[in-house]
Amino acid sequence: REAHSQTEKRRRDKMNNLIEELSAMIPQCNPVARKLDKLTVLRMAVQHLKSLKGSTSSYSEVRYKPSFLKDDELRQLILRAADGFLFVVGCNRGKILFVSESVCKILNYDQASLIGQSLFDYLHPKDVAKVKEQLSSSDISPREKLIDGKTGLQVHTDFQAGPARLNSGARRSFFCRIKCSRNTVKEEKECLPNPKKKDHRKYCTIHCTGYMKNWPPNEVGVEEENDVEKDSSNFNCLVAIGRLHPYIVPQKSGEIKVKATEFVTRFAMDGKFVYVDQRATAILGYLPQELLGTSCYEYCHQDDHNHLAEKHKEVLQNKEKVFTDSYKFRAKDGTFITLKSQWFSFMNPWTKELEYIVSNNTVV
């Protein structure tokens, strides 16, 4: 009988581990701070598989285009409504296969000078890895990296998604900094003695939204790259629209507040960021990848360190939610934004150890 109970325990542990792995692979499960029950994880997994199946088998570009509109007319309408530029990038080498003429209004490049070039040559060095991840990975959620709960460091997986594993129709949404043409910053060189500020002006923060697409190589003019992708009959691309991401200026005390601006972060026990909500970019000016791995205390005003350290100690010792007083957080442009935060610790239900601290932040 004891042997039977041990066998049942091993079976339950194996089942729980598989459910936990499945939860980590489903994008809908990742933003949820609390632990989900097994039935919810399985339900979300079914919904995710249905969405992938629907995007690959029943997806048709023609279905969504009115018959009276030509392709070029539809493209112009989309670009005008989106206030951005359309671009197509090969997933294997990052080659820019197409970019619309509207890129000139945002990045000050003409269309011909970008087509055929590598997108990686125009990205900020710190964003190259992030964009490569978006172009190459279909199995790991693009919103989050896998983080070790004990160390707070990113877990590097051995799996690398090949071109054949990419799902046509899979959605992509990410931020990156793209270099502007030098003509746009020529007048700013004299008035920006600080080289860091000058470098900041050279790059525009672009919000890219689109989907993965498989095309026959002869349709996109990449026959010369066939030898690279022998394992795939189609050429994998990212089709996306890039929009200049606006920076939200905090409201002054005399203005009427319509809605509180919020974003979510997570940090390890030592205070280093392990997850940053994309909404933080519009408020603080930083991209998520700029904050990951850095300490939250680096950005908080020195006068608030003692108070935040006390709250930090309190959230580590208690299971209850902890509310901070107002404190100042340094934005990317050097100004300070006043925030209030609600902290609570997330305990790993299997190891009973603290994995990270969730921080719900509100601009006040």
In tens, the pLDDT along 288-302 reads: 888 988 999 999 999
Look at residue 287 in the predicted model and tell me its pLDDT: 85
Look at residue 216 in the predicted model and tell me its pLDDT: 66
Look at residue 56 in the predicted model and tell me its pLDDT: 45
| Nearest-angstrom CA–CA distance, 279 and 98 | 29
CB 141 within 8 A of CB 27: yes
Mark 75-101 as b/e (b = at least 16 C-beta within 10 Å).
ebeebeeeebbbbbbbbbebbbbebbe
Helix (H, G, I), strand (E, B) or coil at 103: helix
Q: Which CATH class name applies to 66-244?
A: alpha beta
- Extract the residue ranges of the chain whose pLDDT is less than 70: 1, 28, 30-34, 51-71, 73-82, 137-169, 182-201, 216-234, 246-260
Look at residue 266 in the predicted model and tell me its pLDDT: 92
Look at residue 353 in the predicted model and tell me its pLDDT: 82
Specify the DSSP class assigned to residue 300. Answer: B
Look at residue 76 in the predicted model and tell me its pLDDT: 67
Domain 2-57 grouped into CATH 3.40.190.170: no
What single-letter amino acid sits at 189? K
Helix (H, G, I), strand (E, B) or coil at 95: strand
Say yes or no: do domains 2-57 and 262-363 share a fold. no
- The predicted-structure confidence for 48-99, as pLDDT tens digits, reads as follows 777 665 544 444 444 555 565 566 766 666 666 567 888 999 988 899 999 9
Break the chain into its structural domains and give their ranges: 2-57, 66-244, 262-363
In order of 104, 183, 259, the CA distances from 108 in angstroms are 4, 8, 35
| Nearest-angstrom CA–CA distance, 317 and 99 | 53
Return the CATH fold of 262-363.
Beta-Lactamase (3.30.450)
Look at residue 248 in the predicted model and tell me its pLDDT: 52
Is the dihedral angle over the CA atoms 78, 82, 87, 90 positive or is it negative? negative
Nearest to 237 by CA among 209, 215, 221: 215
Look at residue 228 in the predicted model and tell me its pLDDT: 41
